Amino acid sequence: MIRRFFSITNALALLLSARISLAQDARTAVPRPAPYPVVPPAEFQAAVAKGTRTTTGKPGPRYWQQRANYKLTAKLDVERHVLEGTGRIMYYNGSPDTLSQVAMHLYQNIHLAGAARNERQQVTPGMELRRLTVAGQQIARDTRMGAGYQINGTILILRLPRPLAPGDSVDIGADWAFIVPQNGAGRMGWSAQNLFFLAYWYPQIAVYDDVIGWNRDQYLGTAEFYMGYADYDVTIEAPKGWIVIATGELQNADSVLNEVTVRRLKQAEQSDSVIPIITTEDIWSNRTTKPGKKDRLTWHYTAKNVRDVSFSASKESKWDAVRAAVGDRDHDGKPDYARVDAVYRAIAPLWQQSARYGRHSIEFLSRFTGYPYPWSHMSVIEGKDIVSGGMEYPMMTLISALNGADDTTVYAVTVHELAHMWIPMIVGADETRYGWIDEGTTDFHETQGRKDFFQGSDPESSEREAYFHVAGTSREDAMMRWTDFQLPGAYVVSSYQKPATVLYALRGLIGEDAFLRGLRSFIGDWAFKHPTPWDFFNQFNAAAGRDLSWFWRSWYYETWTLDQAVAGVETHGDSTVVTIEDKGLVPMPVRLTLTLSSGQTMEREIPVETWLKGASTATISVPASSGVTRVEIDAAKAFPDVNRANNVWQK
Residue 101 has pLDDT above 90, yes or no: yes
Average pLDDT, stretch 154-177? 98
Instruction: Report the distance separating Cα 229 and Cα 177, nearest Å.
Output: 24
> Residue 378, Cα to own-chain centre: how many angstroms?
16
491 and 571 fall within a common domain? no
Q: Which of 414, 342, 326, 334 is nearest to 375 (CA)?
A: 326
- Asked whether 523 and 373 are in contact (CB, 8 A), the reply is no
Considering the domain architecture, whether residues 565 and 546 belong to the same structural domain is answered as no
Of the candidates 348, 413, 402, 383, the residue with the CA atom closest to the CA atom of residue 197: 383
Q: State residue 29's pLDDT score.
A: 45
Q: How far is CA 412 from the centre of its chain?
A: 15
469/567 same-domain check:
no
In a domain, 53, yes or no: yes
554-601 pLDDT, tens digit each: 999 999 999 999 999 999 999 999 999 999 999 999 999 999 999 999
CATH number (domain holding residue 505): 1.10.390.10
Whether 140 shows a pLDDT value over 90: the answer reads: yes
Q: Are 622 and 628 in contact (CB under 8 A)?
A: yes
515 and 447 housed in the same domain: yes
Q: Where residue 598 sits, what CATH number does that domain have?
A: 2.60.40
For the chain, give the number of residues. 651
Residues 526 and 609 in one domain: no
CA-based end-to-end distance of the chain:
26
Least confident of 15-29, 44-58, 264-278, 287-301: 15-29
**Residue 542 pLDDT:** 98
Per-residue confidence (pLDDT) for residue 11, from 0 to 100: 32
The C-alpha torsion from 444 through 448 and 454 to 458, rounded to 10°, is: 60
Q: Kindly state whether residue 228 falls inside one of the protein's structural domains.
A: no
Closest to 628 measured CA to CA, from 581, 568, 565, 582: 568
pLDDT digits (tens, 9 = 90+) for 457-512: 999 999 999 999 999 999 999 999 999 999 988 999 999 999 999 999 999 999 99
Residues 66-87: tens digit of each pLDDT:
999 999 999 999 999 999 999 9
490 lies in a domain?
yes
Same domain, 504 and 584: no
What are the residue ranges of helices labelled H in 279-331? 280-284
- CA distances, 485 to each of 249, 392, 555 (Å): 38, 22, 18
pTM of the predicted model, to two decimals? 0.94
Query: What contacts 266, CB < 8 A, 6 or more positions away?
Result: none
Domain closes at, from 498, 523, 557: 557
The mean pLDDT of 545-555, rounded to a whole number, is: 98
The domain containing residue 631 runs over which residues? 10-35+561-650
* Number of Cβ within a 10 Å radius of residue 61: 8
With respect to residue 210, please indicate whether it lies within any of the assigned structural domains.
no
Answer yes or no: do 553 and 458 share one domain: yes
> CA-CA distances (angstroms) from residue 570 to 281, 535, 635?
76, 46, 21
What would the mean pLDDT of 439-444 be, rounded to a whole number? 98
Q: Is residue 303 situated within a structural domain?
A: no
* The Cα angle at residue 545 between residues 540 and 547, in degrees rounded to 5: 70
Tell me how far apart the alpha carbons of residues 248 and 588 are, in angstroms, rounded to a whole number. 46
Let me know whether 474 and 551 are in one domain. Answer: yes
Q: Residue 544 domain-assigned?
A: yes
* Residue 10 confidence (pLDDT) above 80: no
Q: If pLDDT is split at 50, 70 and 90, which confidence band does 30 have? A: low
Distance CA(554)–CA(542), nearest Å, equals: 19
Of 102, 101, 177, 174, the closest CA to residue 132 belongs to 174
The one-character DSSP state at 26 is T
Q: Identify whether 350 is part of a domain.
A: no
To the nearest 10 degrees (0 to 180), the angle between helices 498-510 and 512-525 is 120
One domain, residues 478 and 586: no
Q: Is 4's pLDDT higher than 80?
A: no
SS3 224: coil
The answer on pLDDT for 293 being more than 80 is yes
Which of 557, 588, 617 is the last residue before a domain boundary? Answer: 557
Q: What is the number of structural domains in the chain?
A: 2
Asked whether residue 339 carries a pLDDT value surpassing 70, the answer given is yes
Are 570 and 459 in the same domain?
Answer: no
Among candidate residues 508, 530, 557, the one where a domain is terminated:
557
Q: Are residues 588 and 621 in the same domain?
A: yes
474 domain residue, yes or no: yes
Q: Average pLDDT, stretch 499-527?
A: 98
Identify the weakest region by mean pLDDT among 12-26, 35-49, 128-142, 384-398. 12-26
Q: Based on the domain organization, do 488 and 443 belong to the same domain?
A: yes
